[in-house]
Structure formats: structure tokens, C-alpha cells
Amino acid sequence: MTTEQTFTTERLNTAIYLHASKALEFIGCRLNGPHKIEFVFFDPGNLGPRCEMEFESGKAVSAMALLASQKYLRRLMTAKQNESKRAIGAMSERQHAAVRVG
């Protein structure tokens, strides 16, 4: 969800471009549904849609910057997904315990 101050995308390639080009300041990522990650960028000037269009049009960015951003964002994604799996596992354990007690 994009707000007045942020730009969000579920598209990893777009997030990699925005991070690598430093077009927008990366804030973080969050879960958006059970299997989706949303990348959040600080965007007080509402430049996100224009930056996304530049990416889709093939605007050049350093290959080194792209690879570094890809590695960084994939690590964050994996950590967020693992965090979600642990939370679901803990919830499931509590439910099983409640059934055994009840």
C-alpha cells in the first residue's frame, strides 16, 4: 500500500532497482499476506511511480549495485519469511497444547 510518505512494491526486481539506484530511501520489508513480501521506500515526493516507470523503460544502473542490492533484499526477504514461519509454528504449538489440555 502506497501512502503519501511511502512507496511500496511486491516486485523484487523493482525493489532491487530502487535500492541499487538510490532513487528512494529503503525503509524495510514486511509481510503482505501469508506468502508475499512488500518492500517499503520513503517517498515524500511521490516519485515512486516515476522511478518504477524508469526501471521498466530500462534505465541503467551499475551491475555491482544491482547485485549487492539483490543479495541484501533477498536476505531480508528470507529473514522475514522465516520469522513468519516461526510465528506460525509457535501458534500451531499453542493450538495443539490447548487441544491436549481441553
Show the beta-strand stretches assigned E in the chain: 6-9, 25-31, 37-42
pTM comes to 0.79
Task: Name the grid cell of 91.
Answer: 501458534
- CA 69, 75, 77, 78: dihedral to nearest 10 degrees? 160
Taking the C-alpha atoms of residue 41 and residue 38, their distance in angstroms, rounded to an integer, is 10
| 31 in Cβ contact with 38 (< 8 Å) | yes
Write out pLDDT tens, residues 14-73: 999 999 999 999 999 999 887 789 999 999 999 999 999 999 999 999 999 999 999 999
